[in-house]
Amino acid sequence: MSYENLLVEKKDSIAVITVNRPKVLNALNARTIREIHECADEMAADETVRAAVLTGGGDKSFVAGADISELRNADRNGGLEISRLGQAAFNAVESLPKPVVAAVNGYALGGGCELAMACDFRIASVRAKFGQPEVTLGLIPGYGGTQRLSRLVGKGMAKKLILTGEIIDAEEAFRIGLVERVVPHEELMKEAEGLALKMAGLAPVALRLAKRAVDSGFDVGLEQALGLEKELFGDVCATDDKNEGTGAFIEKRKPGFKGS
């Protein structure tokens, strides 16, 4: 598929997806959000892509937030539709049956922070800035920020960031658990693509089921979560990749996973 506001480059078994509106710091207008949703669906269906990296175009911003010009005149019904659109797109990113790495190269504010949180991992440039400053505009996060942030950094820290609109640097984001790694700016894409390639070399079905076990089990009771893990463990034991992986270990060779 071709997009107006996204660039998609396939490298071996990974896809690098770039939100490409650098003149407006990659702000998320409705078209861009729809394209993110479409791209996520495309990546989910593309068996040649086993992992993805998501980043922002230019040298200043991952995604600086929503397009305020579209929010300016929104009434209640318009706000509901804007939130529905954003949540659906970011849910599609989060539920991709393959790993997604956010390479945060600059500002990740508002909708940009929410998009990064929908990814499985966040690697940040030392130049990156994070925040949910919606309250400074008379708004609240509407693309999942009130929920995903608390799950990542805890309820108290999430309230501090959301209720003050504070913007934090990459080191503070790492300290509170919002990002998994901070790297020099010039090494960001190498690190992000390296992590994606590492996971792309593993068994696709095992990755998909492991991701599902963690995500689906996170907000339910332990007994129910363990039951889910048991079922998924049984499913993965029925795959050809399990036979290949265990056989390769015993035979002391590199496995060749096929995704079946």
Tokens read off for 231? 């079922």
Q: Cα 74 to the chain's mean position, in Å?
A: 27
CATH classification of the domain holding 224: 1.10.12.10
**pLDDT at position 2, please?**
85
Are 180 and 123 contacting, i.e. CB atoms less than 8 angstroms apart?
A: yes
pLDDT for residue 44: 97
Residues 141 and 233 in one domain: no
Those residues of the chain that have pLDDT short of 50 are none
Longest dimension (CA), the chain: 65
Which of 35, 94, 114, 191 is catalytic? The answer is 114
Residue 1 lies in a domain: no
Domain count across the chain? 2
Whether residues 168 and 192 share a domain: the answer is yes
Same domain, 36 and 128: yes
Q: Is 69 exposed, middle or buried (0-12, 13-18, 19+ CB in 10 A)?
A: exposed
Domain shared by 247 and 188, yes or no = no
Annotated catalytic residue within 4, 35, 42, 134: 134
Given 184, 200, 216, which residue is the final one in a domain? Answer: 200
| Dihedral, 221, 225, 226, 231 alpha carbons, nearest 10 | 150
Per-position DSSP letters for 115-163, written without gaps between them: HHHHSSEEEEETT-EEE-GGGGGT----SSHHHHHHHHH-HHHHHHHHH
Structure token digits, residue 26: 């990659």
**Statement to judge: residues 155 and 88 lie in one domain:** yes
One domain for residues 13 and 141? yes
Nearest Cα neighbor of 117 from 137, 85, 142, 93 is 93
Q: Which domain holds residue 215?
A: 204-251
Predicted confidence at residue 69, as pLDDT, reads 85
Predicted TM-score of the model (pTM): 0.95
Listed residue (152, 167, 28, 165) closest to 87, CA to CA: 28
C-alpha–C-alpha distance, residues 194 and 215, integer Å: 23
Residue 114 annotated as catalytic: yes
Residues 6+ apart with CB under 8 A from 186: none
Half-sphere exposure of 46 (CA within 13 A, CB side): 18
Contact 116/108 with Cβ under 8 angstroms?
yes
Tell me the pLDDT tens digit for each residue of 139-166: 999 999 999 999 999 999 999 999 999 9
**For residues 140 and 151, what is the distance between their CA atoms, to the nearest angstrom?**
17
Q: Are residues 106 and 151 in the same domain?
A: yes
**Assigned domain for 256 exists:** no
Whether residue 18 sits in one domain with residue 67: yes
Taking only the tens place, the pLDDT of each residue in 34-65 is: 999 999 999 999 999 999 999 999 999 999 99
Q: Based on the fold, state whether residues 103 and 27 are members of the same structural domain.
A: yes
Catalytic, 38? Answer: no
7 forms beta bridges with 18
User: Residues 194, 233: one domain?
Assistant: no
**Residue 120 located in a structural domain:** yes
> Where residue 108 sits, what CATH number does that domain have?
3.90.226.10
Q: Quote the crossing angle between the two packed helices 145-153 and 155-164, to the nearest 10°.
A: 130
Q: Are residues 218 and 185 in the same domain?
A: no
Q: Tell me, what's the pLDDT at 29?
A: 96
pLDDT of residue 67: 86
What is the structure's pLDDT at 95? 97
The first and second tokens of residue 145, run together, are: 């920020």
